[in-house]
Amino acid sequence: DAGVIQSPRHEVTEMGQEVTLRCKPISGHNSLFWYRQTMMRGLELLIYFNNNVPIDDSGMPEDRFSAKMPNASFSTLKIQPSEPRDSAVYFCASSLGQGNEQFFGPGTRLTVL
């Protein structure tokens, strides 16, 4: 298995631009998580899906952030418009059910200028 796949691995954009991060979970996993990691705030859970349905998005910073999971093998995290304070590493993780071992992707390093 290729593990959790994220793209792009690096993204540099200018303030105000739309950014879309992509994630392909491990086949068969039914829970998917989006995290953000910065030096200041550590690792934060943004949103998680169970069986493609968003369960808890209370970690999403504001309306500029949105996430979708149109099917079991694909999820996106969109930031529109992006701001410099959104610069961080964004991780996607998947698991077989909540509370079980999570498998993390390599992350997307986002820089907003």
Partner 1 sequence: SQQGEEDPQALSIQEGENATMNCSYKTSINNLQWYRQNSGRGLVHLILIRSNEREKHSGRLRVTLDTSKKSSSLLITASRAADTASYFCAPDNYGQNFVFGPGTRLSVLP
Residues in the site for partner 1, rule: CB under 8 A?
A: 4, 33, 35, 42-43, 45, 48, 56, 89, 91, 93, 97-99, 101-107
Minimum Å gap between C-beta 98 and partner 1 is: 5
Minimum Å gap between C-beta 16 and partner 1 is: 27
Q: Rounded distance, CA 20 to CA 88, Å?
A: 14
Cβ atoms of 33 and 25 closer than 8 Å: no
CB nearer to partner 1: give 8 or 16: 8
Residue among 48, 108, 109, 101 nearest 75 (CA): 48
CB nearer to partner 1: give 15 or 96: 96
Minimum Å gap between C-beta 81 and partner 1 is: 27
Q: Rounded distance, CA 33 to CA 20, Å?
A: 16
